[in-house]
Structure 1
């Protein structure tokens, strides 16, 4: 899949990946915007990939990330338009988390000191501007980083956990462990649904709250792969039960269900490729080889094809989304990294 994003999936004049490719032809689809998060995810993937072509592409992506998306206030603009001009200058935690993750991965690959410096500067901005008094983090701030726009939400904080775990591998492990333990305690206090032990998408008590099985799988993979950081915390105890509940209620013959309500009723029956990869990943992390073998066979048959992948299916296996987003190779890469440990 990577050659797609070096070739037709890369806008050479801007130095950015197109947002999506046509699943049938592999051709780039017109992009009205380019997101910093999408560029960061691609930087992460190419930093992890082997070979000189991937290394050179990672260099190009890192240059574009800084040049196009870094703002003068120490933050990162959310998106630019089709000509590379600022489009949405919202300060988005999800974006900032992927900047930290990508810079950590790129520094490990390239030993470029600028990547480590940028990673640390972005983490300082997150801690100074996004953090709340409850050890949580606002999901979005105004362009000048002064006003909260969105309250804390599960998904950005999960990816911040992932980012800080990666950052701790290259700088200040004790400091990042302190941030991670505080964040984990905040998640347990405000987001864990007691009957299921699942991490909900919004804080407990929010109207219309959802439980996403894929996120339970993703959380457990992160925490179990870095068990020493989270040792003794409630989150490390609750997540195995959340995964057990999610496997019972959120996975069927069609794959992983997108979301459920807190009683276990289906809210969104879409089968998204990222949730399937996170299920494969957690089965690998847990060492459940029989289940993994069966799910891999089903995944190959339903989601992969000779030219790439299917992004979304319905419960019967019909394709409901015909493009391949530039963000999905990140999930495929993290899944493959876990599979290497258990699949021969």
Structure 2
């Protein structure tokens, strides 16, 4: 894109190091201090525009889980040694407050700021991230109690949330439409569990999601990923295409290939080419939604698709694709320039309209997982 071409060569070359310092010096300290509730426990769900905590915001359980991942990962990378204690403290809070507080199995959907149950829904998307957090925590110490929590959550998924039509229900109680998104993150969680445990059963579990992707989620003719489905996985028309999710699957398919040896180059390449059709002309950033023909339906642009297109290029660079490393760095520069250059050090802008106006006044904690994952992947692959 034109903007990427105008960036100085040294700015592109040093972007990974800059983003790493931004994580270590600003984001990780911010979200473990201002972003932690010292009285009631748990992570704050969002900060105000000035960087102060919003203590009255409900606590989304998937956000608690994502933050646990961030601090466990930062500790494992050697970026933030104190992240281990933070992650384990937060996991203790999550298990105490969100796991079966009403006597029914599974994790509730939302908590009050005081730690009570705000919404008792058992949501599949939430459970994917709880499993992801448990895998990250297990990777710290290989604690048998954490492994027991992993197994208990898997049992809940298998006995309570499996759909007779394949995949998993949206939650308990069930709802429609069915979405690819929870399945994508359960796929991610199974890969993470294999990496943490080296238990071959997680290869098989990940394989179930890969099969679902090929059979139902991915349109092999149009090279697009569907978002919404009927109970039997028939497509809901018109098909919504989220380019950020297309990019995210590129990275996940490379992870699946890494742990199983199953080749995924063809769908990765197709998804990436397709995702790149949905870009904002002025910035080169991915927009939020398109249709199956490559037309843009929503010109707004969230932060998270920008981290996912960077990760997609990183995955292709890891696979040896020529030019992919340069594309990954250019995507990270766009992320840094448009979203991370926030007046609050360690904060970010979450969404813009097509004219570049910020649409979200707060700084949501939910984005930290996307940013940190992109930067850690960049350092591991790009150096």
Q: Does 1:38 align with 2:63?
A: yes
Deviation at residue 29 of structure 1 after TM alignment: 1.8
Q: Distance in 2 between matches of 1:135 and 1:4?
A: 41
* Residue matched to 2:84: 55
- What is the CA–CA distance in structure 1 between the aligned matches of 2:377 and 2:282, rounded to whole Å? 23
Report what 1:319 is aligned to: 358
For each residue in 1:167-211, what CA deviation from the matched residue of structure 2 results, as whole angstroms up to 9, or x when unmatched? 122346322222221222122222212432221111342033211
For the structure 1 residues 253 and 231, does the alpha-carbon distance in structure 2 shift closer, same or farther, using more than 3 Å as the test?
Answer: farther
Change in Cα spacing, 1:176 to 1:293, as seen in structure 2 (3 Å) is: closer
- Secondary structure of the corresponding residue to residue 377 of structure 2: helix
1:251-272: per-residue Cα shift (whole Å, max 9, x none)? Answer: 6442111111222222221111
| Paired residue secondary structure (1:15) | coil
Q: CA deviation at 1:27?
A: 0.4
Name whichever structure is richer in strand by fraction. 1
Residue 210 in 1 paired to residue 240 in 2? yes
Aligned to 2:219: 193
Structure 2, unpaired ranges of 5+: 1-26, 318-323
Question: Partner of 1:145 in structure 2?
Answer: none
Partner of 2:129: 98
How many aligned residue pairs are there? 337
Tell me which of 265, 272, 276 is aligned to 1:247: 276
Q: CA deviation at 1:69?
A: 0.1
The structure whose RCO (Cα within 8 Å, separation 6+) is larger is: 2
Query: In structure 1, what is the equivalent of residue 374 of structure 2?
Result: 335
Pairing partner for 1:167 from 168, 176, 193 = 193
Q: Confirm or deny that 1:300 pairs with 2:336.
A: yes
* 1:12 aligns to 2:38 (yes or no): yes
Residues 136, 196 of structure 2: 8 Å contact kept: no
Q: Which of 52, 75, 85 is the matching residue for 2:116? A: 85
Match among 298, 309, 312 for residue 268 of structure 1: 298
Deviation at 1:322, TM superposition (A): 2.1
Aligned partner of 2:141 among 81, 104, 110: 110
TM-fit CA distance, 1:304: 1.5
Give the CA deviation at 1:232. 4.9
Q: Once the 2 structures are TM-superposed, how far is the Cα of residue 31 of structure 1 from its aligned partner? A: 2.6
Residues 232-243 of structure 1 mapped to structure 2, 5 A cutoff: 232=262, 237-243=266-272
Unaligned runs of 5+ in 1: 143-147
Task: Calculate the TM-score normalised by the size of structure 2.
Answer: 0.82
Residues 308-327 of structure 1, C-alpha deviations (whole Å, 9 max, x = no match): 21111122322111221111
2:150 is the counterpart of 1:119: yes
Could you say if the C-alpha distance between residues 293 and 168 of structure 1 is closer, same or farther in structure 2, counting changes exceeding 3 Å?
Answer: closer
| Normalised TM-score (structure 1) | 0.91
Contact 2:280 2:299 in 1 (8 A): no
Within the candidate set 204, 222, 225, 1:178 is matched to: 204
Kindly report the root-mean-square deviation, in angstroms, between the aligned alpha carbons of the 2 structures.
Answer: 2.0
